[in-house]
Homo-oligomer: A and B are copies of this chain.
């Protein structure tokens, strides 16, 4: 099932994507809902981010090749995380599918994409074992963890490098039936595949993260966990189109604009 969130007549609503269009529902996937029987054309609505996160979690460093590439860039030895310490991103930066990533005037040329699997939590959860961890997951969507690499190196926190407005595209929908063991993440820049990796090749997987996190913290419906990216990335330029495709979920596409 594919949950979309959209705006129609100034109202934000959830619906279910089908071949016929968007089936309007009353309610949301995070509580109860009922189909109204009305079908809406996707072209007649504004597609929104599929959830406004209650808490916006991010694994950050979670693929080996990405650690090696970052180390080369910084001229240091690669350092792999020894345990799954979760981090955070911020809601101000979120934009939906098709919205523009806007590079600030004073950013350097090192603004990069990072294609990421996003876990959407559907049920309140605490003290989950690794075996039970996925029971709290509603489904999956796609994130682009846009990053200004020079700010990332110079700022004490990553507030500006990672959370500048428009730096967190997320969408286009929440897919509830995707299989995380059978996904490939492909990043297309202006129609050309520039990076491709097996999504499950994480240093710490989704179940491991949820299990460790819920020892100390309660997860709530609407929380999201961005799972990190693999490989190297290229500089984004004014006029670029970046698409993140993940098997079984879909494609998140966003144009890039330089602030004038």
Contact = CB atoms under 8 A, between A and B. Distances in A.
Interface of A: 54-55, 57, 60, 81, 83, 85-88, 90-93, 104, 126, 155-157, 159-160, 163-165, 213, 215-220
Contacts of A155: 83, 85
Copies of this chain: 2
Instruction: Give the secondary structure class of A's interface.
Output: loop
Nearest to A58: B157
Contacts of A216: 104, 159-160, 163-165
Contacts of A165: 126, 216-218
A99 to B, nearest CB: 14
Nearest to A82: B156
B219 A85 contact: no
Given A90-B217, A91-B54, A60 B157 contact: yes
Contacts of A220: 91-92
Contacts of A126: 165
Contacts of A157: 60, 85-88
A156 B88 contact: no
Contacts of A91: 54-55, 220
Given A57-B90, A165-B216, 6 more contacts: A85-B155, A86-B157, A88-B157, A92-B217, A164-B216, A165-B217
Nearest to A79: B156
In the A-B complex, the 10 residue pairs with the smallest Cβ-Cβ separation, listed nearest first, are A85-B156, A87-B157, A88-B88, A164-B216, A86-B159, A92-B217, A85-B157, A85-B155, A55-B90, A55-B91
Given A55-B92, A92-B55, A87 B159 contact: yes
Contact of A93 (B90, B93, B156, B217): B217
Contacts of A88: 88, 90, 157, 159
B217 A164 contact: yes
A213 B126 CA distance: 34
A219 B90 contact: no
A85 B155 CA distance: 6
B219 A92 contact: yes
A213 B78 CA distance: 31
A60 B156 CA distance: 10
A163 B88 CA distance: 11
A120 to B, nearest CB: 16
